[in-house]
């Protein structure tokens, strides 16, 4: 019975994601803002695969995001890569970087692992900074094209309008969302959860936990790389801040505030923070203080994040209805 409930719930989550994607541009002032939300939701989703499902707190997500953005942009600028090739190379770059960072970092567990990912993130920043011939250094990489979408030699859309680009990102997001769900519900995904819950036990049962963690890293890095490339295409610009530690922190905070261990939470987290930033950053440049406060608040009072908060409110409502119903019944009996 439990199982049935679970699977129908997850079916609902995919539907909810689809509805969100369709409704979002209608509610928001611009399609560009909606696209930005989807891109960060993608990055948060990838972070969630690591943090929520494997229990790996990675401060390295900005490496894959920025790496994907830079490599895709460089390929488009210097070698005229098309849209899908650029995204493919961004995915491979993200996956490769994640493989490298992951392979070194998972040599250590727990807190050391976290510190290593943070240090590698700093390292990537300095690499990007010193390769300024390629990355533009402090100025960022300018004039990044947004190539048209070609399928089988036909131009499907030129993606010039922000609505068309939103639609493209939306389709891509849904594909990744469904893929991530498949990963989570596969035996591979359940093993990841087993590692999160008790790594020693998972390893004692015979799973080679490091291989699983590394693969989770690679998948997460690939998705984050795509998100980074899309962000560069959205802005036509790849700033150095893409690969700063702050980017890793933002992605992490979106994931946590949205709710770890639920893919829809990543949409909520990315949505609320990108929106908050959009509304506040022009009025109050120091709005990030709120992020700090929100982060502490979520950790202390709402560890399952916004999505969990929605769930617990719904539970309470159900509980309230049930109690009321049973109270009514018992008063009838009396």
Q: Which residues bind other proteins (CB under 8 A)?
A: 51, 55, 57, 104, 107-108, 110-112, 114-116, 118-123, 126-127, 129-130, 245-246, 249, 252-253, 256, 286, 288-289, 291-296, 299-300, 303
Q: Across-strand partners of 150? A: 155
The Cα–Cα gap between 157 and 148 comes to: 6
Q: Which is nearer to other proteins, 175 or 293 (CB)?
A: 293
Q: Which is nearer to other proteins, 52 or 170 (CB)?
A: 52
Smallest separation, CB 285 to other proteins (Å): 8
Smallest separation, CB 124 to other proteins (Å): 9
Smallest separation, CB 235 to other proteins (Å): 22
Closest CA to 94 of 55, 124, 127: 124
Smallest separation, CB 51 to other proteins (Å): 8
The Cα–Cα gap between 260 and 306 comes to: 9
Smallest separation, CB 172 to other proteins (Å): 30
Q: Which is nearer to other proteins, 82 or 99 (CB)?
A: 99
Q: Which is nearer to other proteins, 9 or 299 (CB)?
A: 299
CB-based contact 218:99 (threshold 8 Å):
yes
Smallest separation, CB 17 to other proteins (Å): 25
Give the sign of the dihedral formed by CA 272, CA 53, CA 84, CA 133.
Answer: positive
Q: In terms of DSSP H, where are the helices of 55-204? A: 61-79, 83-105, 110-130, 132-135, 162-185, 187-197, 199-204
Q: Please, how many CA atoms are within 13 Å of residue 270, restricted to the half-sphere of its CB?
A: 28
CB-based contact 201:38 (threshold 8 Å):
no
Q: Which is nearer to other proteins, 133 or 143 (CB)?
A: 133
Smallest separation, CB 116 to other proteins (Å): 6
Residue 148: both structure tokens together: 């048209």
Smallest separation, CB 5 to other proteins (Å): 27
The Cα–Cα gap between 165 and 143 comes to: 17
The b/e string for 118-134 (b: 16+ C-beta within 10 A; e otherwise) is: bbbbeebbeebeeeeee
Q: Which is nearer to other proteins, 35 or 304 (CB)?
A: 304
Q: Which is nearer to other proteins, 93 or 260 (CB)?
A: 260
Other beta carbons within 10 angstroms of residue 153's beta carbon come to 5
Q: Which is nearer to other proteins, 125 or 177 (CB)?
A: 125
Q: At a CB cut-off of 8 Å and minimum separation 6, what does 57 contact?
A: 50, 51, 113, 114, 117, 252
Give residue 72's Cα distance to chain centre.
19
The Cα–Cα gap between 39 and 271 comes to: 10
Q: Which is nearer to other proteins, 162 or 241 (CB)?
A: 241
Smallest separation, CB 286 to other proteins (Å): 5
């Amino acid at each position: 019975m439990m199982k049935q409930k679970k699977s129908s719930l997850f079916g609902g989550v995919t539907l909810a994601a689809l509805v969100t994607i369709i409704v979002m541009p209608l509610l928001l002032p611009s399609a560009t803002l909606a696209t930005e939300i989807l891109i960060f939701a993608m990055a948060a989703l990838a972070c969630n695969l690591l943090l929520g499902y494997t229990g790996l707190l990675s401060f390295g997500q900005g490496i894959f995001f920025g790496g994907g953005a830079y490599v895709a942009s460089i390929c488009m600028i210097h070698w005229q890569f098309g849209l899908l090739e650029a995204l493919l190379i961004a995915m491979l770059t993200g996956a490769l970087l994640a493989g490298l960072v992951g392979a070194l970092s998972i040599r250590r567990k727990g807190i050391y692992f976290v510190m290593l990912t943070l240090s590698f993130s700093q390292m990537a920043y300095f690499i990007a900074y010193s390769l300024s011939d390629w990355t533009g250094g402090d100025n960022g990489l300018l004039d990044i094209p947004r190539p048209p979408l070609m399928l089988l030699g036909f131009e499907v859309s030129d993606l010039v309008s922000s609505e068309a680009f939103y639609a493209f990102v939306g389709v891509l997001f849904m594909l990744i969302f469904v893929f991530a769900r498949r990963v989570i519900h596969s035996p591979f995904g359940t093993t990841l959860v087993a590692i999160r819950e008790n790594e020693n036990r998972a390893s004692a049962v015979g799973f080679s936990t490091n291989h699983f963690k590394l693969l989770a890293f690679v998948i997460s890095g690939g998705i984050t790389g795509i998100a980074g490339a899309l962000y560069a295409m959205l802005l036509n610009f790849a700033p150095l801040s893409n690969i700063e530690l702050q980017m890793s922190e933002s992605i992490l905070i979106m994931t946590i505030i949205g709710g770890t261990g639920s893919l829809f939470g990543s949409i909520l987290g990315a949505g609320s923070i990108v929106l908050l930033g959009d509304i506040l950053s022009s009025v109050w440049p120091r709005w990030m203080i709120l992020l700090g406060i929100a982060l502490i608040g979520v950790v202390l009072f709402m560890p399952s994040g916004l999505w969990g908060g929605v769930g617990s409110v719904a539970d309470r409502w159900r509980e309230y209805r049930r109690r009321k119903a049973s109270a009514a019944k018992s008063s009838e009996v009396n």
